[in-house]
């Protein structure tokens, strides 16, 4: 039996397949190169914007200094403006970030972590309660009890991820809140001490969400001290509302209130599709009313 030779049609098909695979590889390389070029261009543009701002502030400072020499009567004010402008310009120039990370990158990382935590909570059969408890060494811990009727574990017990004590009402899971490190950074940047009343703390925290961390465009707090409740309406959050265990916006608010009021804070993050306001979602923080009554 003679060996069957490949036909011209078969050879042509194989050649076309090879060419198609080669073209795809070439196109992929071109796309990767273009993606890298665009990323570098974006970083350069952002860096240039920062440095132009620095030069502008420096120019304002220089003009104010020259004006102080020309107009002795206004020297005090002009020299003050010159110092502010030059100092701000130097800071802006040398503190320009070297790397910019898009918001969607952070959100994708957050979603992966939330999927894991949510799956863990579901498979352990824990309750829907989310309780943020102030902690001496960890700032705050997120405690998710096993049962709807629960007791808050001791500080030492909350250091364990799986909280298993002799008291069944204290059993559950304790996690590091996503808002813990944000709150630690907030404490370093805030001017003055943390407030001691729900209204004061809520005002400081919502201002930080908008102006310090830029996690949301607006955050408006509605505090009912007698009911032990603070509801914050949020618009245009960098992190969309999902079914995760520990939303960053709600976590930051709850950690701040837990530390400021020195009482455990329960949270609920909700979105009402029939809401006629401009709020994307609302974070409701609850505590025992007598706890805030003691903060005077």
Domain boundary among 94, 124, 149: 94
The C-alpha atoms of residue 195 and residue 101 are separated, in whole angstroms, by 32
Q: Are 75 and 125 contained in the same domain?
A: no
Would you give the distance in Å from CA 191 to the centre of its chain? 20
Same domain, 129 and 252: yes
Q: Which domain holds residue 36?
A: 10-94
Tokens standing for 229? 């409740």
Same domain for 127 and 88, yes or no, is no
Query: pLDDT 10s digit of each residue in the chain, 296 long?
Result: 445 555 555 555 555 555 576 777 777 777 777 666 666 665 566 666 666 776 777 788 788 788 878 888 777 877 787 788 777 766 666 555 555 555 666 777 777 888 888 888 888 899 989 999 999 888 999 999 999 899 999 999 999 999 999 999 999 999 999 899 999 989 888 878 888 899 999 999 999 999 888 888 999 999 999 999 999 999 988 887 776 788 899 999 999 999 999 999 999 988 765 554 566 889 999 998 875 555 55
Residues 38 and 134 in one domain: no
Please tell me the total count of domains within the chain: 2
Task: Give the pTM.
Answer: 0.65
Residue 173 lies inside a defined structural domain of this protein: yes
Cβ burial 169-202 (10 Å sphere, 16+ → b, else e):
ebbbbbbbbbbbebbeebeeeeeeebbeebeebb
With respect to residue 5, please indicate whether it lies within any of the assigned structural domains: no
CA distance linking residue 267 with residue 254, whole number of Å: 7
């Amino acid at each position: 039996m003679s060996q069957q030779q490949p036909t011209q049609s078969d050879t042509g098909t194989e050649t076309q397949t090879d060419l198609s695979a080669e073209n795809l590889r070439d196109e992929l390389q071109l796309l990767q190169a273009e993606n890298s070029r665009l990323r570098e261009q974006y970083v350069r543009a952002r860096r240039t914007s920062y440095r132009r701002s620095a030069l502008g502030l420096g120019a304002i400072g220089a003009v104010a200094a020259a004006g102080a020499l020309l107009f002795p009567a206004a020297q005090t004010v002009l020299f003050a403006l010159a110092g502010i402008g030059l100092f701000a310009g130097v800071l802006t120039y040398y503190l320009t970030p070297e790397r910019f990370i898009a918001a969607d990158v952070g959100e994708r990382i957050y979603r992966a972590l939330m999927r894991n935590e949510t799956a863990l909570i579901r498979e352990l059969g824990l309750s829907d309660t989310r309780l943020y408890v102030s902690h001496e060494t960890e700032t705050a811990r997120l405690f998710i009890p096993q049962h709807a009727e629960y007791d808050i574990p001791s500080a030492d017990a909350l250091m364990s991820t799986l909280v298993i004590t002799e008291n069944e009402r204290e059993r559950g899971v304790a996690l590091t809140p996503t808002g813990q490190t944000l709150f630690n950074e907030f404490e370093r940047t805030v001017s003055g001490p943390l407030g001691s009343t729900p209204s004061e703390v809520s005002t400081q925290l919502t201002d930080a969400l908008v102006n310090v961390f830029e996690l949301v465009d607006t955050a408006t707090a509605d505090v009912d001290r007698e009911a032990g409740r603070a509801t914050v309406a949020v618009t245009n959050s960098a992190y969309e509302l999902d079914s995760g265990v520990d939303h960053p916006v709600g976590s930051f608010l709850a950690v701040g209130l837990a530390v400021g009021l020195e009482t455990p804070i329960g949270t609920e993050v909700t979105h009402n599709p029939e809401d006629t306001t401009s709020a994307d979602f609302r974070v409701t923080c609850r505590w025992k009313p007598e706890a805030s009554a003691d903060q005077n």
